[in-house]
Structure 1
């Protein structure tokens, strides 16, 4: 098995803070830049699983980079440089405390809520009589609060404004950007024979301007179906062929784990880890149309440190 990077602890010049997220290690450099190292950790149900997935970090980082470049005409984004296959260096922004989730189809969390009888999701009414994986007449925005610990919570537009989490002016802009980004992502996926089912975007502010931050259109933040056979599977009530993290969630559910108290993460054997790694690489090649080139896996930490230091030095000249 190839090794996976599940933990970093660098000391970069000008570093004044390290934030360790579920998947990303984010180094604050002088409150000017963020060095985001996309690790090979994998999370599901807001729990970081005990083993990493080789090349997952590289896959996520490089897909996000491609889509940030492909959408910078819609909204400015935080990306400044990709010094290493697993690293993005970008502008430090003040993040909004909501994640903008947009759904084109009734699946995943939305389907689980619908199946349980809910007909309003984040303040958005849902029609009766829908089936799993059915397309909405138009995409719906179902925001979540951004939790620093534990689960993100569904929240409505009305509650976001009422609680003053985001100003009305900014929120209208966030919704506009969300719809335009999703439309662009949908178009790009369609060209590759895929359906962009749902995704989430995170935004921040710097010098009064809104920026798209973090990742975009990766298998960790998005769900993709294969276009071919979608309609037939829908009519037969069969599961869709998909490229996303949902298959990991399904494997966990089948093995009695949904992140609830007292539940134990099932054993992740080598064959399962290899299959997850292959699925991530498959998505990379399918969504980008590029051949995945595995980065040199010899002493990855030293490679990252060298590449990041060289980039930071150049940025501070």
Structure 2
């Protein structure tokens, strides 16, 4: 079996029964089930959701996204071997840990295959909930140019790159383009303040102003649980992004839950603690791949300048990356997944065929 076949690059063409268009994001594709199939599975599997809750099959891919573009490798390899399975394994591990420690639930109801989640539909909070323990990346770039106000939080002078911050910072940004909110530009990923949230609670998708405090608590708790666990395997949880949404349980109670993925190398920075103690940064996250791209092409400004997005898209479309670059990412992702979960990440010989079989045999969802 060739490496190109082991990589699941296209994940929106599976014969899963659905009566809606397949939604395909940068990495995951979502197949919304019919009302009949949703009701059937809720009854058969005993999921703790409202009887009429819409369910979906969420299939991860091995695609690699960075700087808002999808990148490919030589020889027709259109993703990173093992990446999808590693991301799901890490998220699944953290969600189980959250549940065992009494934190909020997630949108995941079932995990029939390493690439697949059965999820319930949530009403999303339109906030990218970002937490930072160290000053690095985009925050350092802005700080080094003199910026001191980050989402309404004033940082002191004299900080140095990659140092631990005086306290855990919450620096939220918009999720998608929100229109008509005073003081918030109509663009994706715009930094916002707590006051923005308080003044426009409903526009950001919060049920009430008290839930702003709930989301901050869940963000802080989730960060703490992952940070403590990573510390035990000599890793540093540098920063991360969480997403939240509302669902109803089987009794009709509405609750705020964790959505999407958590604590993965895609959504977080993770550093090796022993190397950090020596004054070196060893990335165990996608940041290493971002740095590769900045060094690989002669003009790094194309990656960093949003006004040059068309040039960036052309670079990604027209340049196959060296296979070694993708294999380096594969090693980073599978190594950190195995450290976190204590389990090996095994590459599927034919992930699509496996997914189809399990969804047919155990869920009756294949057409």
Q: Same fold judged by TM-score > 0.5?
A: yes
**8 Å contact from structure 1 (residues 192, 289) kept in 2:** no
Task: Measure the CA separation in 1 of the matches of 2:164 and 2:235.
Answer: 14
Change (3 A) 1:121 1:309: farther
1:162 partnered with 2:208: no
1:19 partnered with 2:23: yes
| Superposition deviation, residue 90 in structure 1 | 1.6
Q: Greater shift after overlay, 185-194 or 139-148?
A: 139-148
TM-score (norm 1): 0.90
Task: Measure the CA separation in 1 of the matches of 2:26 and 2:198.
Answer: 28
User: Aligned residue for 2:353?
Assistant: 302
The size of the alignment, in residue pairs, is 307
1:203 partnered with 2:244: yes
Task: Measure the CA separation in 1 of the matches of 2:209 and 2:169.
Answer: 18
**8 Å contact from structure 1 (residues 62, 85) kept in 2:** yes
**Runs of at least 5 residues in structure 2 that lack an aligned partner in the other structure:** 35-52, 73-77, 179-186, 249-253
After TM superposition, the runs of 4+ consecutive aligned structure 1 residues lying more than 4 A away are: 148-151
TM-score (norm 2): 0.79
Q: Greater shift after overlay, 142-151 or 219-228?
A: 142-151
| Superposition deviation, residue 100 in structure 1 | 0.7
Q: Greater shift after overlay, 130-139 or 5-14?
A: 5-14
**8 Å contact from structure 1 (residues 41, 48) kept in 2:** yes
Task: Measure the CA separation in 1 of the matches of 2:210 and 2:321.
Answer: 46
SS of equivalent residue, structure 2 residue 343: coil
User: Aligned residue for 2:303?
Assistant: 258
| Superposition deviation, residue 291 in structure 1 | 2.5
RMSD over equivalenced CA pairs, Å: 2.0
Task: Measure the CA separation in 2 of the matches of 1:17 and 1:209.
Answer: 28
Q: Which has the larger radius of gyration?
A: 2
| Superposition deviation, residue 148 in structure 1 | 6.8
Change (3 A) 1:302 1:99: same
Change (3 A) 1:308 1:125: farther
1:218 partnered with 2:264: yes
SS of equivalent residue, structure 1 residue 242: coil
**Runs of at least 5 residues in structure 1 that lack an aligned partner in the other structure:** 234-238
Q: Which has the higher helix share?
A: 2
User: Aligned residue for 2:8?
Assistant: 5
User: Aligned residue for 1:144?
Assistant: 173
Mapping 1:39-118, distance limit 5 Å: 39-50=61-72, 51-72=78-99, 73-118=102-147
Task: Measure the CA separation in 2 of the matches of 1:113 and 1:64.
Answer: 30
User: Aligned residue for 2:341?
Assistant: 288
Mapping 1:115-126, distance limit 5 Å: 115-126=144-155
SS of equivalent residue, structure 1 residue 16: coil
| Superposition deviation, residue 279 in structure 1 | 1.4
